[in-house]
Amino acid sequence: MDSDPESESAETTDVKWRPMHLLVATFIGVMLLVASLDVTLRYAFDAPLDWGIPVVGLMLGLTIFSGMIVVTGEDEHITVGLLDRWVIGRGRKIQIIAVHIVSLVSILFIAWRMATLSMHHFENQNLHMMIDILFWPFSLIFAFMALCSALLVVRNLFRVLRKRPEDIVAPEIPNV
């Protein structure tokens, strides 16, 4: 059986990332549930949740960073194909490598900032101003998730480096 990661079918990729998809969906579901409950209680009973807005904010962060792992793992970032029509062969490979390097640097910067923020919150034992919950575990989780995404970018970069320029095809551009 061929174990080449490039020969994986879409179904295999979906199965591999299904737990992360479920995690993202759970974070979104909790965020929507808390926000809906907070709005309903605020306007129907004039009794908003004291912890509603901070929890929605934390769920949003968890959704973004766990979603970044999924998108990076599947190498499905949003791209703007302005030059894809004219960049082919070796130029296309160089373009993809450059995009991966810029992505890697950006994600590592985010991971570094989240890690330093976590250390600052830990040293000062900072609590959220609206609810008594420590910040540092969340920023540390965000840093870890960003680091996981960075490792997946490195994996994607090596996959591109192994390919021959003629094996890299431009994405299909719809005629408008």
- What residue ranges do the domains of the chain occupy? 5-167
Residue 132 is predicted with a pLDDT of 77
Does the pLDDT at position 3 exceed 60?
no
| Of 142, 155, 157, nearest in space to 68 by CA | 142
pLDDT digits (tens, 9 = 90+) for 38-80: 999 999 998 988 888 888 988 999 999 999 999 998 888 777 7
- Which residues does 97 contact at the CB level (< 8 Å), separation at least 6? 157, 160, 161
Residue 166 is predicted with a pLDDT of 67
Q: Among all chains, which residue has been given the structure tokens 């101003």?
A: 129
Q: Which two tokens stand for residue 31?
A: 């965020």
> Residue 176's CB: how many other CB atoms inside 10 A?
3
Average pLDDT over all residues of the chain: 84
Mean pLDDT value of segment 27-47: 94
Residue 116 is predicted with a pLDDT of 96
Q: 8-41 burial string, b = 16+ CB within 10 Å, else e?
A: eeeeeeeeebeebeebbeebbebbeebbeebeee
Does the pLDDT at position 101 exceed 70?
yes
Residue 14 is predicted with a pLDDT of 65
Contact between 93 and 169 under an 8 Å Cβ cutoff? The reply is no
Range with the poorest average pLDDT among 5-14, 23-32, 131-140: 5-14
